[in-house]
A and B are shown apart, each in its own frame.
Chain A
Amino acid sequence: MQVRVKKPLTVDEYAKQGMEMLKYYESGPWPSHVTELKKTKYPIEAYAAGLAAGKTMWAAGSAKIRYVYTGFIARRTRDGKISELHFRVWQPSGYLYSTEKLRKLMDFADKYGLGLLEIAGQQGLMIISIRPEVADEAVDYLRNVVGTDIGATGDTIRELAACVGPALCEFALYDTLEARDRFMTHPKIYEWMSNQLFPFKFKAKFSGCPFDCTRAVHRADFGFIGVWVGAPEVDQELLRKKIEAGEVDPARLAANCPSGAITWDPEKKELKIDGTRCKKSMHCIRAAYPAIKPGKERKIAVVVGGHVKGRFGGKMGKPLAVVNSVEEAMDWVVKTVESWTEYMEKGVVKHKDRIGDFIMKVGFKKYVTEILGLKEEKKPTLHPSLRAGAVLDDEERTMWANWASKLVEEYFGRRP
């Protein structure tokens, strides 16, 4: 099947039309990315041309920085006109900054870059656009002046996300920030992060409580989620005060507990929570904090093999173990990564197989018992593969277009 070429896919061909289209995005009540881009040296005509052509103008570029094998992404437009370079910059755990440190990062972006940031890239790392000709010098400035470095691109250790944890949240059941610091500086992880030796990316996420603000169950090869054992802790005295003040309704607390673990004794004015049934939904804690708090005995639930971008569709994390500290799981992390790469040499794992794909290929039971040497205790829940996309013929596309146009009429009125 041949592609019909209409106009050559170049920036010059489409930029003018695209710049007109971009004006639309400078109005409207929400802050505009176009307005922001125009305040910088970003080559906005490449973006504009892409929008007008209905095709991205970018292709993989190349850049070399001495002794740096991860952390920068080079792009050039398909016509070779414009090149671009991004630095992924390691951020402190929790992304909480003093303004002094943030100013240093801004100075860096102005001195070596286009004055443009992606303040939280898809992994949470700040991404800063750099002028390719000063990239080498920029690395030194980042290391010696700002006190951080570039990293987390390609088939290696990627960003390790931690929730804000003990720095600003009372729900943190373990120190997610320190855990992330220690994970990053673990000798093996630290050694791996400078090179690209894996079949694909590796991500770990640290959530301090079952709210899972880092979304570890969906998007982490290794997710560490703070939990407690048994029932939440109830301060009956304080709870009675809250009930008298009308802040908490005990009947509703009991009715809305997803675990069905709460009973309210109106005689004794006591709330009982059955720890053997509690699923850690945090419902009562959210409603009655601090009268109801997470239990005192704290653990970390480890889930493995979750990802969005994998060969056989997205997967959710599988239950590995409940441990007392992230350190206890470090051996499993190292063993998993080592066998994942070893299986690539054997030809079982292919390039672009995430750890979830690897576990799928060897089987969860074998992975847990033979590779990690654990007793398999937990069965993962199956779910349909997480994926998007469809191959449709014209008739079906027309059907969906008509279906959507009915809704367009409902919200925008009839097209004149």
Chain B
Amino acid sequence: MTADPVAQRLQKRLPVPYTEWLPELVRRNVGKWVDRRFHGYGIIEHISSTGDRVFTVKVGTPPNFRMSTETMRKFIDIADKLGIGGIKITRNGNLEILTDSLDKAVKIKEEVEKMGFPVGGWGPTLWSINSCTAFLTCTTAVVDAPSITKVLYDHLKPYFTGEVKLPAKLRINVSGCPSSCGGFTSDINIVGHYGDAPTYDPERVKLCLPRSAKALEAGHVPEVAEVCPTGAIKVYGKPDGTVGLDVIRSKCIACGRCRDVCDWMDFDESKIGVAILVGGKASNTGRGSMPSIQVIPWVPAIPPEYREIVAVVKKIIDVWRANAREGERIGDWIARVGMEQFYKLLEIPVTKWNKPVAISGEFGIRQFGPI
């Protein structure tokens, strides 16, 4: 066998060490940062023990962090012209343009605002709304997360820029289906789902099933049934030797796993909606990291305005603003006042899909006890 030179692709070419990708001023100061100062929302000064200073200007980006190269090149030009030739992309999908003086940082802020991009997203503000791709590329999306995100951002922009103060940091996740690639462990989470058991086209679904019932005799379970966490999907041999499929509605929890593995499982779009989960956080501040809880199992998702979703999110934020202490994230606040109180404030009906749960114990690194 002669070695194919193309096979070298199996040895990934990784961007290591990371220092090769850094702008010069940052590279000189890795590990030497000693302090920081804040200059309003979105401008942060990092101070190094060498006396060097770096200012980051945090810029909000479009839904699903989509950007044309044309726009990105404009940011790169700004980072060269007014900055130190460096940009950081944050875990929240914001852009940070790096520079070395407050004057330049303020100029950068002006420039990007002229381009129509907001600066903010730091401190007790809305940091970002994380959206999955949904109808842009995804095969399993139930609702379109980017357009929901756009509408929410349009309504909540003053919370990002800091014009209106929040009690603490706020992150919102929007996911198009229960797989929740956009996440559902933040302060407020919006997750699209079927609102009912999945449907299927009996002809097309055969593409996900074995051709002959003989295959089932050996105990083989096709993946579309096998992935169901509640055993709601049954496959069986028919008298004519083909394979049939049934969905047991009473067992279904509309989690969408079957559609993850079979494009031909389907849903009735007149019944779709979004579930809203609250109170999740990763940071160890306050009461520590927390899971999120589904408090509203279903509200309709009606484009283009998505008024129901916007109203519910605004209400949750308003109630939080009116009742929380300074520095208390939504999860910490609900943990203090109790889930029942939160339900009362929002007049949320209780059904089998959103029973208030009392969360006891501590999560994340607090599970280790005192370190």
Contact = CB atoms under 8 A, between A and B. Distances in A.
Given A218-B280, A301-B371, A31 B18 contact: no
A59 interface: yes
Given A28-B150, A210-B283, A389 B361 contact: no
Chain A interface extent, by class? 35 or more
B184 A59 contact: no
A314 B153 contact: no
Interface stretch (A48-56, A262-270, A333-341): A48-56
A53 B355 CA distance: 33
B132 interface: yes
B125 interface: no
Interface in B239-270: 247, 249, 252-257, 260-261, 263, 266, 268-269
Given A50-B144, A90-B14, A401 B299 contact: yes
Contacts of A228: 371
Interface string B51-73: 00010100011111111111111
B24 A387 contact: no
A386 B298 contact: no
Contacts of B70: 39-40, 115
A167 B89 CA distance: 13
B202 A116 contact: no
Contact of B138 (A58, A126, A210, A217): A58
Name the residue among B33, B117, B137 with the largest chain A CB count within 10 angstroms: B137
B12 to A, nearest CB: 5
Interface string A16-32: 00000100110011111
A236 interface: no
A253 interface: no
Contact of B255 (A30, A39, A389, A412): A389
Interface stretch (B102-110, B210-218, B271-279): B271-279
Given A30-B154, A350-B226, A275 B370 contact: yes
A184 B16 contact: yes
A178 to B, nearest CB: 8
A99 B21 CA distance: 9
B231 interface: no
A39 B115 CA distance: 14
B340 interface: no
B284 A281 contact: yes
B87 A120 contact: no
Given A99-B85, A117-B66, A139-B9, A411 B310 contact: yes
Interface in B353-371: 353, 357, 359, 361-371
A348 to B, nearest CB: 13
Interface in A276-305: 276-283, 286, 289-290, 299, 301, 303
Interface string B21-54: 1111010001101111000000000100000001
Contacts of B132: 122
A378 B368 contact: yes
Interface string A139-183: 100110001110100000000010110111110100101101100
Interface in B177-195: 178-185, 189, 191, 193-195
Contacts of A120: 65, 89-91, 93
Contacts of B277: 386, 388
A31 B201 CA distance: 39
Contact of B67 (A36, A172, A195, A381): A36
B368 A66 contact: no
A344 interface: no
Interface string B288-317: 110111101111100111011011101100
Nearest to B304: A24
Contacts of A391: 194-197, 249, 252-254
A101 B26 CA distance: 14
A370 B268 CA distance: 47
Given A166-B31, A212-B282, A390-B195, A352 B95 contact: no
B363 A383 contact: yes
A368 interface: no
A56 B311 contact: no
A57 interface: yes
A280 B9 contact: no
11 contacts: A51-B147, A67-B4, A67-B9, A115-B68, A161-B91, A299-B371, A301-B371, A308-B185, A316-B289, A392-B195, A392-B196
Given A97-B86, A163-B91, 20 more contacts: A29-B157, A34-B150, A59-B139, A66-B9, A68-B9, A75-B139, A97-B88, A101-B21, A147-B20, A168-B33, A193-B12, A194-B10, A210-B365, A218-B289, A303-B365, A383-B361, A389-B193, A391-B194, A397-B195, A400-B298
